[in-house]
Structure 1
């Protein structure tokens, strides 16, 4: 999240900031909601509700026809509907398919991420109370609350977007809000190739590993594309398998028909009622899953996940925050050690080496693009050290005149140790030959269609 200070010039003043317009809008909005019974409205079909509120807004605006042009009247009606049912000034951004993140630093400072780059947008809230009111409305819809006694919240919007908000006294400038948006349809392997996020041989190997039920961990930083890649890899799972997913905030978009989706729950104000990822993982083992996917491994659930992988629940997938594949192992060691501090490190190493087969590193490059930068295979133990070697790497050679990253994907020439297991499933690993790869190769060479 950006810092709370915004030193850029204030965007050009819009009609919404003009005092008469602002006062009229506030008055009409208060009149519009004054007669509403929100307990009853929760049971009304959303489309019908929006139509009824639009009709009410039109009637109220018609009373001020002498003060408004037709264009102003239409704009005011749309804003009143958005204020009552939607996200107010954020509605236009939420319907913009090019926006992947919305970052709000106080009532007058809004940034978005488009194509991996941050830019400031001329969207503002009336004041801090207006912003906090919208955040409270979002949290209330999913059974969460945010106020000065509980000034942080994570929530999931109806369209699947993830919201995180911090308000005063923790946020020094009043409120900090981050909304991570997700595409309506999960990305495909073809789109990854078009964006030069990977080479065909790399996706060919990952598809084979997923089908052969190897355990795969995706590593990367915030916003690097871990969940996007996890969605892609999950598409290679058979339609006949039962998949249990465990997430802090539901982000996965699995396309299989038999998916048991679970989401953690935070504690209430009294500190009771929390349901952790570890609780859900233990429960998932009783649900007869063919596979278990943990959206992000960040706590004590790491230990139970390794236990599940080592006791017959193969084909698991998860993500973890780390800068490279070897760092991902170190972070996993730390998480398991925190969950079970009585275990010696050599035992933890052996659990990891026998449970995890493939680690995929993803990164957001300096030009905003996302790429798979490493695919590493864990091959066992050498004393107390986990053996691991790279199968594929991305080597950056520079930046062109437009600021775009220049580089190539390479295969290291090391034969995958998992090739024998892949062959048992009728699959074939890419030929191990040390050479650069062409990310623009045709999909016809892939066996992952």
Structure 2
């Protein structure tokens, strides 16, 4: 008789715990012996299920593993109580799977954190880490999360999306392709702005793949997500401190190290703190560069950078001066019901001594393309002749 899902989950936990106590590998013989020792008699089909379940529970993400491995999955989220949500590229939706409750969610989160070399308990009730397979993990425990342990897993992209892929998917309008290529070929410094999950990293990765093969790209990231299709990539990753807060190496320190590594392009995967100061300084000393930043709209980017740079002691006027001198273009991406894609190409321009991001090319929610007051400035930045994709 085939076991029901809740019965099967209980058997997996029993067998897993016995294997751990015995120090045995999760091979077929050990799993079968542990099942017999627990008084469980299984048929051939359930024994195969049990083997897969125990392996997932000891090395993978337990019952979440099939969701993480499903094609197109970008995020798997577990809320307090065991509710599971999945994003497979079309937005979040509830999964058919529901974990058994707080005990299972917490045990899974603690085990995953330990596998990443991190601690998760009452003394350290939240963790942000990268698992051995590249999955990005975040967890937070009660009482910080009153409804129970919350677990967030972001799956690293297996496929490297290039600009042709984004064009085919409609994420980039065909008329804007020459503009994006010209931004890279002219070695303009640019920022990609947008909300969480809007496709910032995907667009940045695709554009970095257009860089000339002879260029050296130095990537600085908190958690390695960028995988540009380029022959010369150097990757630096931040290191979190231990439970005493020691031993951490932040993005700001890595940006300074990257400048000593002869970068042709310096890339910060996500600007979200004091590293903004060092990136802007680098872009004002002859280095071409790029990065992403969270912002609701392209015009919000200066305000967002002001807030981030304030943590490093920079005044808004200093940020504006460096932004005007060091950043040429802002590419804004957004998520809609039709998917994720570029909705604005803008330029950085002065206004009364302050920096302002001015739209040059815009795409409305219904897909219509238009122009903005920054178009002439964009043309001057791109040089002549103007790419045929720029509306006249």
Which TM-score applies when normalising by structure 1? 0.80
- Residue of structure 1 equivalent to 2:359: 390
Alignment of 1:18-417 (within 5 A): 18=7, 21-36=8-23, 53-61=27-35, 67-314=41-288, 316-341=289-314, 343=315, 345-365=316-336, 367=337, 369-379=339-349, 381-386=350-355, 388-396=357-365, 406-412=366-372, 415-417=375-377
Matched, 1:433 2:391: yes
Q: For 1:22 and 1:387, how far apart are their aligned partners in 2? A: 56
Looking at structure 1, the residues matched to 14 and 356 of structure 2 have their Cα atoms a distance apart, in angstroms, of: 68
Q: How many Å separate the matches in 1 of 2:388 and 2:373?
A: 10
CA distance in 1 between counterparts of 2:40 and 2:311 reads 68
Matches of 1:351 and 1:25, distance apart in 2: 57
**Alpha-carbon distance, 1:199 to partner:** 0.9
SS in 2 for 1:339: coil
- Give the structure 2 partner of residue 401 of structure 1: none
Secondary structure of the residue aligned to 2:210 is coil
1:278 touches 1:301 (CA, 8 Å); kept in 2?
yes
Q: Is the 8 A contact 1:412 1:432 kept in 2?
A: no
Change in Cα spacing, 1:413 to 1:161, as seen in structure 2 (3 Å) is same
C-alpha displacement at 1:92, in angstroms? 0.7
- Give how far 1:278 is off: 0.8
Distance 1:68 1:318, change over 3 A: same
Q: Aligned partners of 1:388 and 1:138: how far apart in 2?
A: 42
Q: Distance in 1 between matches of 2:258 and 2:348?
A: 26
The reply to whether residue 17 of structure 1 matches residue 6 of structure 2 is yes
Go from structure 1 to structure 2 and tell me whether the alpha carbon gap of 1:325 and 1:78 turns closer, same or farther (over 3 Å shift).
same
Q: Take 1:68 and 1:325, find their aligned partners in 2: how far apart are those partners?
A: 59
Instruction: Report the alpha carbon displacement of residue 339 of structure 1 after superposing the two structures with TM.
Output: 1.6
Asked if the contact 1:281–1:301 (Cα under 8 Å) also holds between the matched residues in 2, the reply is: yes
Q: Give the whole-Å Cα distance in 2 for the aligned partners of 1:168 and 1:382.
A: 48
Cα pair 2:80 2:102 within 8 Å, conserved: yes
Which residue in 2 is equivalent to 1:443?
none
Consecutive unaligned residues of structure 2, counting only runs of 5 or more, are none
1:264–1:280 CA contact under 8 A, matched in 2: yes
In 1, the alpha carbon distance for the partners of 2:203 and 2:356 equals 25
Partner SS state of residue 187, structure 2: coil
Q: Distance in 1 between matches of 2:273 and 2:217?
A: 21
Per-residue Cα deviation, 1:27-76 (whole angstroms, up to 9, x for no partner): 32222222227xxxxxxxxxxx7xx6244224444778983232222211
Offset, 1:312: 1.1
Give a deviation string over 1:175-206, Cα, whole Å, max 9, x none: 01111223201212222223222212323211
What does the per-residue CA deviation read over 1:376-426, in whole Å, with 9 as the maximum and x for residues that have no partner? 0124x2431335432211112xxxxxxxxx3322344865535456458xx
The alpha-carbon deviation at position 149 of structure 1 amounts to 0.6
- Contact kept, 8 Å, 1:377 with 1:416, in 2: the verdict is no
Provide the rounded CA distance (Å) in 1 between the counterparts of 2:269 and 2:28.
39
Task: Work out the CA distance in 2 between the residues paired with 1:420 and 1:411.
Answer: 15
Q: Is the 8 A contact 1:104 1:176 kept in 2?
A: yes
**Mapped partners of 1:408, 1:159: distance in 2:** 40
Q: Is the 8 A contact 2:124 2:243 kept in 1?
A: yes
> Could you tell me whether the CA contact under 8 Å between 2:142 and 2:148 is conserved in 1?
yes
Secondary structure of the corresponding residue to residue 317 of structure 1 = strand
Give the Cα separation in 2 of the matches to 1:275 and 1:327. Answer: 29
Contact map agreement 2:219 2:236 (CA 8 A) in 1: yes
Alignment: residue pair count:
390
Q: Distance in 2 between matches of 1:265 and 1:81?
A: 29
